[in-house]
Structure 1
Amino acid sequence: MMFEGVLTKMRTENSKPVNYYLVLDTNYINFNQLLNKTIGIKFLRFECLNCHLDKPIYRQGFCRSCFFEAPQAADWIIRPELSQAHLDVEDRDLVYEKEMQLQPHIVYLANSSSIKVGVTRKNQVPTRWIDQGAHEALEILETPNRYLAGIAEVALKDHVSDKTNWRKMLQNDIKDEDLKAYGAELKNYLPEEVKPYFIEDNSETNIEFPVEAYPEKPKSLNLLKTPEYQGVLKGIKGQYLIFEDQTVFNIRSNEGLVVAIEVIVN
């Protein structure tokens, strides 16, 4: 079987374990069904997710010009505290910014390699946690817009990390934490204007990933340096494909690359 198309992040279904789907043009791949099968990946060309031209990808699936112009790549995406749609102030496209920013947002704790704090739109729960490879997560605030969630995250980053160690996450070097107790402690560090949005009584979400073997020393596949690769799929976690030879491939960080994916009969 051969599939071809531009990479975008895998779609997920929070079952036990998580189901992973890669949509390629009119086809899709359910990677759960391909565990223990040999998969070939070949880089063909680029396709910017915004202008759809064959131009080198700069960041987040966009070519350089689109990264600095498209509203989907504005600074407030990564730094929600920079959101200004609630003030009716435009960054790149106020209609888009209002649509994205002026909706309920969740500030959460997630445990993938260690406890981290993050922000996501409410309708992205639990997708965001799955994408980060978190095996447990907890909502601690629900705010009416992105700005308030952002200033809460900034305050908490002084006391808890906002980063994931991808190697530890893929090695499954993790331990369970009492996220509810941790969140209760962090409440003391929140700005007064967001404390009314703190969720007092909530339970953790636990996530199981379809992994049969974790890599001891994961090595990341770079298709621009190694345009063709072939390996036996042993698992999927976060947005990573995990192969038998310790190679891992991050679908999300390779968005905008057009690839051919072959499922080889063993």
Structure 2
Amino acid sequence: MEYTGVLKKMKTENLDTVQYYLDMKTDFLNMNQLLQREIELAFVTYECLHCHLEKEIYRQGFCKSCFFDIPTTGDWIMRPELSKAHLDEEDRDLEYEKKVQLQPHIVYLANSSNVKVGVTRKSQIPTRWIDQGAHEAIEIVEVPNRYLAGITEVALKEHVADKTNWRTMLKNDIVDEDLTIWQQKLRGFIPEEAQEYFVENNKETNIQFPVNKYPVKPKSLNLVKEKTYKGKLVGIKGQYLIFEDDTVFNIRANEGLVVKMVIA
């Protein structure tokens, strides 16, 4: 079987084991069904996810000109505390910014390589946790806009990590934590404006990933540099494909690449 398409992050479904789906334009692949199969990947070209032109990808699947122009890549995306739609102030496109920023947001704790704090729209739970490769997660606050979530994250990351070690996450070299204890421990550090939104009496969400074999020494595949790669798929975690020889390929980090995929 042979497929060609532009890479976009895999869609997921949180069942007993996470189900992964890859959109290859004319085909929608359930990647779980490809476990233990030989897969060959080949770099073809680039395609910006916004303008769809054949231009080198700069960041997040977009060419450089789109990245610095479109509203979906404003600074407030990565730094929610910079959100200003609640003040009726525009960054790039106020209508879009109001649509995204002025909706319920969650500040959460997730354990993927270690316990970390993060922010996402409520509608993205548990998708965000799955994409980060978290095997357990819990909400801390549910606030009405992105700004309040951002200032809460800034306050809490003084006391807990805000980054994931991707190698540790992929090796599954992690320790189970009682996130309800962490939640209570961090409660006092929540900014006053967000204290009323603390989520009481909630439980951890546990996530199971389809991995038959974890890599011992994961090595990241640079498909643009290598041009082609072939290996047996043995697992999927976060947005990573894991191969038998410890090679890993981050679909999310390679959005905008047009690839050919051959499945033996």
User: Which of the five TM-score ranges fits, normalised by the shorter chain?
Assistant: over 0.9
Shift of 1:26: 2.5
**1:181 equivalent in structure 2:** 181
User: Secondary structure, in 3 states, of the residue corresponding to 1:39?
Assistant: strand
Q: Any idea what the Cα deviations from partners look like across 1:139-192, whole Å, max 9, x if unmatched?
A: 110000000000000000100011000000000001110101111110111110
**2:59 equivalent in structure 1:** 59
Structure 2 counterpart of 1:77, one-letter code: I
Q: Please give the alpha-carbon distance, in whole angstroms, between the structure 1 residues aligned to 2:54 and 2:152.
A: 39
**2:190 equivalent in structure 1:** 190
Q: Please give the alpha-carbon distance, in whole angstroms, between the structure 2 residues aligned to 1:201 and 1:154.
A: 24
1:150-189 mapped onto 2 (5 Å cutoff): 150-189=150-189
Structure 2 counterpart of 1:255, one-letter code: E
Q: Please give the alpha-carbon distance, in whole angstroms, between the structure 1 residues aligned to 2:166 and 2:68.
A: 27
Query: Identical aligned pairs, as a percentage?
Result: 67
Normalised TM-score (structure 2): 0.99
Structure 1 counterpart of 2:114, one-letter code: S
Matched residue count:
264
1:234-253 mapped onto 2 (5 Å cutoff): 234-253=234-253
Q: Please give the alpha-carbon distance, in whole angstroms, between the structure 2 residues aligned to 1:228 and 1:16.
A: 33
**Runs of 5+ in structure 1 lacking a partner?**
none
Q: Any idea what the Cα deviations from partners look like across 1:91-119, whole Å, max 9, x if unmatched?
A: 01111101110000000000000000000
RMSD between superposed Cα atoms in Å: 0.5
Structure 2 counterpart of 1:195, one-letter code: Q
Shift of 1:218: 0.2
**1:42 equivalent in structure 2:** 42
**2:230 equivalent in structure 1:** 230
Name which of structure 1's ranges 7-16 and 22-31 shifts more when overlaid on structure 2.
22-31
Shift of 1:82: 0.4
Structure 2 counterpart of 1:20, one-letter code: Y
Structure 2 counterpart of 1:164, one-letter code: T
**2:139 equivalent in structure 1:** 139
Name which of structure 1's ranges 182-191 and 240-249 shifts more when overlaid on structure 2.
182-191
Q: Please give the alpha-carbon distance, in whole angstroms, between the structure 2 residues aligned to 1:77 and 1:163.
A: 16
Structure 1: 4+ residue segments shifted above 3 A: none
Q: Please give the alpha-carbon distance, in whole angstroms, between the structure 2 residues aligned to 1:181 and 1:159.
A: 14
User: Secondary structure, in 3 states, of the residue corresponding to 1:12?
Assistant: strand
User: Are 2:225 and 1:220 aligned?
Assistant: no
**2:9 equivalent in structure 1:** 9
Shift of 1:25: 1.1
Normalised TM-score (structure 1): 0.98
**2:22 equivalent in structure 1:** 22
Q: Any idea what the Cα deviations from partners look like across 1:118-152, whole Å, max 9, x if unmatched?
A: 00000000000000000000011000000000000
Q: Please give the alpha-carbon distance, in whole angstroms, between the structure 1 residues aligned to 2:232 and 2:103.
A: 42
User: Secondary structure, in 3 states, of the residue corresponding to 1:225?
Assistant: helix
Structure 2 counterpart of 1:22, one-letter code: L
User: Secondary structure, in 3 states, of the residue corresponding to 1:235?
Assistant: strand
Q: Please give the alpha-carbon distance, in whole angstroms, between the structure 2 residues aligned to 1:4 and 1:16.
A: 30
Shift of 1:263: 0.5
**1:118 equivalent in structure 2:** 118
Shift of 1:7: 0.4
**2:258 equivalent in structure 1:** 258
Shift of 1:24: 1.4
Structure 2 counterpart of 1:34, one-letter code: L
Q: Please give the alpha-carbon distance, in whole angstroms, between the structure 1 residues aligned to 2:99 and 2:46.
A: 29
User: Are 2:106 and 1:106 aligned?
Assistant: yes
Shift of 1:224: 1.2
Structure 1 counterpart of 2:180, one-letter code: K
Q: Please give the alpha-carbon distance, in whole angstroms, between the structure 2 residues aligned to 1:105 and 1:113.
A: 23
Q: Please give the alpha-carbon distance, in whole angstroms, between the structure 1 residues aligned to 2:154 and 2:73.
A: 20
